[in-house]
């Protein structure tokens, strides 16, 4: 690298998403005299608004796009550099931007996020949805669409199929049930009738388009094979989540109905075999649906043998960490999922380089009740904690792993129900000796508790159950609940009183 005048900052943060912006805010407010730079390509940053701490670990917030000038007004010692990063040289502690400039750092935090895994890289009929930008493009194209195919089973697919109206949706999921990253087949069946019903007029779900990793973690996969309740015969990699209660055998398959505005049909346990444009399709002998006589811009053939014509395909099959520009020329430890490995201080394997949010993989030994999921909640927590670690290390102060990494917790809305996930909510990584208690009232609530050796280790709460704080406490204090037996979920007993 040519020696020339290089502006050096105490702290440089790369990425204008939730992790990067939270990290910058934390650094700037904790060390107001420090030179901080945020390097981000776009003119807008993503800001956390309406933050609300609901309990010790549960938090809710909205995400808003704002001009980056808002950050600079708030923090006069912050420089915002509008460019993408071309390369990083960890030895000389320098970042090169796409516009050819170099910036030095004492400490760097990489928060470059992830990008959608696309089914097809350059097919104009395949749309990957990752954030608000791509969601806007999606809405534009949706206005002329009669039928779309959604591929994927993560959070973004769940939100999409519920939100889309006035257009047929074919939803291809590779699992036996919908949403299996978030809940088991029982909870999925609780939610499915909502897809058939008209959306309540008052429903204004928070627009929080978000994906999560699609693949069950190796840990989760072990769970199924060890799980005595799981349905037999399925391979570990296709069925996620733990046990089903005895009432959950009947598979409910959604059929589009003429009188409702939402028409979703789910194709279970299938992936994409092939995508044709109409021209390819007409000259190919591959069978279409026999009833289909119309011509469509694009056709998708699924591994279950069915082919559907549609206006476009939405690829919602997860993301890959955006780590390439940083890896080249350096010796980062990279996790199997492509993320930069970070330790319990959000430090990568390169000195003075931290990472937070979707680009990183938590490689420290996790608390038994926590797992990484690439959700906005964790992007905020990691960005915030990385900022604190950078500031602490810069002043050689000790810092301990933050409490938010003790217990996994997440609150969201799916299909207009409040959904709270706590701890090993899907039995992730548990031994075969775990037990489940389920309580479900159709159209009202679904409550599942995971017990291991009499202790609560996880819970799924769908609906207005009002149980999250009590259960969070029971999980955190690991009290032996054996004496309470099934009364734990007895709707006629107020558990809160029980444990006060």
Applying CB under 6 A, the residues found at the interface with ligand NAG are 32-33, 76-77, 293
d(CA 404, CA 382) in angstroms, rounded, equals 9
DSSP 225-244: HH-TTSPTT--TTT--S---
Strand partners, 326: none
Q: How far is the CB of 439 from ligand NAG (least distance, A)?
A: 49
Residue 78 or 88: which CB sits closer to ligand NAG?
78
Q: How far is the CB of 290 from ligand NAG (least distance, A)?
A: 10
Instruction: Identify the sign of the CA torsion 265, 270, 271, 273.
Output: negative
Are the CB atoms for 313 and 298 separated by under 8 Å?
A: yes
To the nearest whole angstrom, how small is the minimum distance from the Cβ of residue 228 to ligand NAG?
A: 51
Cβ at position 293, least distance to ligand NAG in Å: 4
Query: Please, which residues have CB within 8 angstroms of residue 403's CB and are 6 or more apart in sequence?
Result: 56, 57
Cβ distance to ligand NAG smaller for residue 294 or 336: 294
114 contacts 358 by C-beta, under 8 angstroms = yes
Q: Which is nearer to ligand NAG, 140 or 291 (CB)?
A: 291
Which one, 33 or 204, has the nearer CB to ligand NAG?
33
Q: Which residue in the block uniquely carries the two structure tokens 């129900």? A: 417
Give the DSSP H/E element, type plus range, for residue 280. Answer: helix 278-283
Nearest to 16 by CA among 3, 25, 5, 4: 25
Residue 338 falls in which region: left (phi positive, over 0), alpha (psi -120 to 50) or beta: left
Closest CB to ligand NAG among 143 and 293? 293
CB contact at 8 A, 1 and 92? yes
Find the shortest distance in angstroms from Cβ 343 to ligand NAG.
Answer: 30
Residue 291 CB, nearest approach to ligand NAG (Å): 8
3-state helix, strand, coil in the chain (%, to 5): 25, 30, 45
131-140's contacts with Cβ under 8 Å and 24+ in sequence apart are 131/17, 131/46, 131/209, 132/63, 132/65, 132/207, 132/209, 135/207, 135/209, 138/314
Residue 34 vs 178, nearer CB to ligand NAG:
34
Query: Which residue's CB is nearer to ligand NAG, number 121 or number 293?
Result: 293
According to DSSP, residue 15 is labeled: -
Cα four-point dihedral sign 193, 199, 202, 204? positive
Structure token pair of residue 433: 């000796």
- Please say which residue, 76 or 232, places its beta carbon nearer to ligand NAG: 76
* Closer residue to ligand NAG in complex, CB, 76/246: 76
> What is the smallest separation between the CB atom of 37 and ligand NAG, expressed in angstroms?
13
CB 7 to ligand NAG: min, Å:
14
Least Å distance, CB 24 to ligand NAG, is 14
d(CA 241, CA 221): 9
With tokens 């917030």, the residue in question is 61
Q: Which is nearer to ligand NAG, 69 or 139 (CB)?
A: 69
Helical (H) or strand (E) element with 195 = helix 185-196
By beta-carbon proximity to ligand NAG, the closer residue of 33 and 201 is 33
Minimum separation from the CB atom of position 417 to ligand NAG (A)? 40
**Which residues are bridge partners to 423 per DSSP?**
458
9 forms beta bridges with 105
Where would I find the beta strands (DSSP E) of 58-101?
59-67, 78-82, 85-89, 94-97
Shortest distance, CB of residue 74 to ligand NAG, whole angstroms? 10
- Phi–psi pair at 2, nearest 5 degrees: -65, 135
Give min distance, CB of 294 to ligand NAG, in A. 8
Which residue number, 68 or 377, has a Cβ lying nearer to ligand NAG?
68
């Amino acid at each position: 690298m040519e020696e020339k005048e290089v502006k050096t900052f105490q702290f440089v943060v790369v990425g204008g998403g939730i992790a990067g912006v939270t990290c910058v805010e934390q650094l700037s407010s904790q060390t107001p005299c420090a030179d901080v730079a945020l390097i981000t390509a776009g003119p807008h940053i993503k800001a956390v608004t309406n933050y609300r701490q609901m309990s010790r670990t549960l938090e809710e917030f909205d995400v808003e796009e704002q001009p980056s000038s808002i950050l600079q007004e708030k923090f006069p010692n912050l420089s915002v550099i509008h460019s993408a990063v071309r390369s990083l040289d960890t030895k000389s502690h320098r970042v090169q931007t796409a516009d050819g400039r170099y910036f030095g750092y004492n400490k760097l935090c990489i928060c470059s996020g992830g990008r959608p895994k696309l089914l097809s890289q350059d097919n104009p009929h395949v749309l990957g949805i990752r954030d608000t930008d791509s969601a806007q493009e999606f809405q534009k194209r949706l206005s002329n669409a009669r039928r779309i195919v959604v591929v994927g089973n993560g959070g973004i697919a769940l939100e999409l199929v519920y939100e889309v109206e006035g257009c047929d949706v074919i939803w291809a999921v590779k699992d036996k049930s919908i949403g299996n990253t978030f809940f088991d087949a029982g909870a999925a069946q609780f939610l499915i009738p909502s897809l058939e019903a008209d959306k309540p007029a008052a429903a204004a779900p928070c627009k929080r388009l978000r994906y999560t990793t699609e693949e069950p973690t190796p840990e989760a996969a072990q769970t199924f094979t060890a799980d005595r309740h799981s349905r037999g015969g399925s391979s570990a990699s296709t069925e996620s989540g733990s046990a089903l209660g005895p009432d959950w055998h009947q598979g409910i398959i959604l059929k589009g109905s003429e009188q409702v505005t939402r028409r979703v049909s789910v194709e279970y346990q299938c992936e994409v075999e092939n995508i044709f444009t109409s021209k390819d399709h007409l000259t190919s002998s591959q069978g279409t649906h026999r009833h289909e006589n119309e011509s469509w811009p694009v056709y998708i053939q699924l591994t279950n043998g069915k082919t559907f014509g549609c206006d476009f395909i939405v690829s919602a099959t997860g993301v890959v960490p955006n780590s390439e520009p940083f890896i080249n020329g350096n010796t980062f430890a990279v996790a199997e999922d492509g993320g930069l490995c970070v330790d319990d201080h959000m430090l990568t394997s390169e000195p003075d380089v931290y990472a937070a949010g979707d680009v990183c993989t938590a490689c420290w030994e996790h608390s038994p009740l926590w797992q990484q999921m690439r959700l906005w909640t964790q992007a905020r927590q990691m960005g915030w904690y990385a900022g604190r670690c950078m500031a602490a290390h810069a002043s050689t102060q000790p810092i301990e792993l933050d409490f938010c990494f003790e217990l996994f917790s997440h609150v969201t809305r799916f299909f207009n129900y409040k959904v709270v996930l706590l701890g090993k909510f899907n039995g992730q990584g548990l031994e075969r000796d775990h037990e489940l208690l389920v309580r479900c009232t159709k159209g009202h609530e679904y409550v599942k508790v995971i017990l291991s050796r009499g202790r609560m280790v996880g819970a799924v709460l769908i609906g207005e159950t009002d149980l999250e704080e009590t259960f969070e406490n029971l999980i955190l204090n690991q009290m032996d609940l054996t004496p309470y037996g099934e009364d734990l979920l007895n709707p006629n007993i107020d558990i809160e009183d029980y444990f006060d």
